[in-house]
Structure 1
Amino acid sequence: MLKRIGILSFILLNIGCDQISKDLVRKNIEPMQYVQLVNDNFILTNVENTGAMLGFGSDLSPILKMIFLQGLPLIVLLVLLARMLQKSNLNRWMVLAFTFVIGGGIGNLIDRIAYGSVTDFFQIKWGVFRTGIFNMADVSVTVGVLLLLFLVFRYRNLSI
């Protein structure tokens, strides 16, 4: 029971950080405004992304968007969450990684369902390195996936 509360708490923490940061951006940054936080290296903006990562799928019909950007991700996230809550012998780092992925995924799903788009607002530029515009949910998913990759390569017998 305590494990389940911990899992749900970490997921809610990820969702909360994402939704609060997006709400602050929507209320305080005009669409397409360009705010330099650290010179020209760390930029704050406000962009509504109607697709997935880097705008993928933004040209899909509304029904296909609903299927591929809302329905399927929701099913996958719920299956992952159910598996995590059911299993008792999961590696705690694996659980942490999945809480980041699930929390970030749900954060972006909330936007897609509530607003029809995802609010993105961070961009990093460092020399030739330049990211797309992203949000805290994207950071959560990325951290979770990187941790999962590390764990899979480090401990080959992990499963979920």
Structure 2
Amino acid sequence: MKSNKFVRASIIIIILAFNIGCDQVSKSIARKDLPDNKVIGFLANHVTLEKTENTGAFLSMGDNLGGPVKYVLLMGLPLLALLGALVYIIIKTDITKNTLLGIIMVIGGGVGNLYDRVLHGSVTDFMHIDFIIFQTGVFNVADMSIMAGMGIILVDSYLKRREEKRHLVVEE
């Protein structure tokens, strides 16, 4: 029994480390190799690389806040949420593997961006997608991890509820 918990915790840590590592390597490359104030386009400029430093949160929200309010909203609350999520996935062993993976991805992306905020004072973003009807802000690998993780959690939740409804109909 204890060995299963150890294996599970080890797998969680390995996936988290890989997730955070991929994010940090990509940001390091962007900081080092992408020139300032230059956009590099691919696929007829529908996908571009453009290094920016985001001192706010998602889409630079909170960028204009100052002092302790900005610190609490952009560092304190995310740190508490990430720690809470980590404790949750370590303690709660009956969640589905897909939901577990989704939460790990959200934590990994959050840690990657929080690490940037602490170490660099901002988060390095460098990718942008613009396919006319689908357009993003400038983002990074951590943001992709957070969004993919949330997507996995939502799809898994939907499928689980659908399965539960199907069992209720069969039992009636």
Give TM-score, length-normalised by structure 2: 0.88
| Partner residue of 1:81 out of 73, 76, 86 | 86
Deviations 1:103-151 (Å, cap 9, x if unpaired)? 0000000011111110000001112322100000000000000111111
2:138 paired residue among 126, 133, 141: 133
Runs of 5+ consecutive residues of structure 1 not aligned to the other structure = none
Give the equivalent residue in structure 1 for 2:3.
none
Hey, which of these two has a bigger chunk of helix by percent? 2
Which residue, out of 94, 97, 108, partners 1:103?
108
Aligned-partner SS, 2:16 = helix
2:149 maps to 1:144: yes
Cα distance in 2, alignment partners of residues 16 and 77 from structure 1: 17
The 5-angstrom pairing of residues 5-154 of structure 1 reads 5-154=10-159
Q: Which amino acid aligns with 2:65?
A: L
Cα deviation, residue 83, structure 1: 1.2
Quote the Cα distance in structure 2 between the aligned partners of 1:19 and 1:68: 22
SS at structure 1 position matched to 2:127: strand
Q: Structure 1: how far apart are the matches of 2:131 and 2:141?
A: 19
* Distance (Å, rounded) in 2 between the aligned partners of 1:29 and 1:73: 28
How far apart in 2 are the matches of 1:4 and 1:37? 40
Amino acid paired to 1:79? G
Aligned residues: 157
Structure 2: tracts of 5 or more residues without a match: 1-5, 165-172
CA distance in structure 2 between the aligned counterparts of 1:31 and 1:38, rounded to whole angstroms? 21
Q: Deviations over 1:73-95 (max 9, x none)?
A: 01111111011111222211111
Alpha-carbon separation, structure 2, partners of 1:17 and 1:32: 24
Deviation at residue 59 of structure 1 after TM alignment: 0.4
Instruction: Give the SS at the match of 2:62.
Output: coil
Matched residue type, 1:120: D
Which amino acid is 1:17 matched to?
C
Distance in structure 2 (CA, Å) of the matches to 1:32 and 1:106: 27
- CA drift of 1:30 comes to 1.8
Q: For 1:140 and 1:62, locate their aligned partners in 2 and report how far apart those are by CA, in whole Å.
A: 29
How many angstroms apart in 2 are the aligned matches of 1:12 and 1:119?
Answer: 19
- Is the radius of gyration larger for structure 1 or structure 2? 2
Kindly report structure 1 stretches of 4+ aligned residues shifted beyond 4 Å: none
CA RMSD of aligned residues (A): 1.1
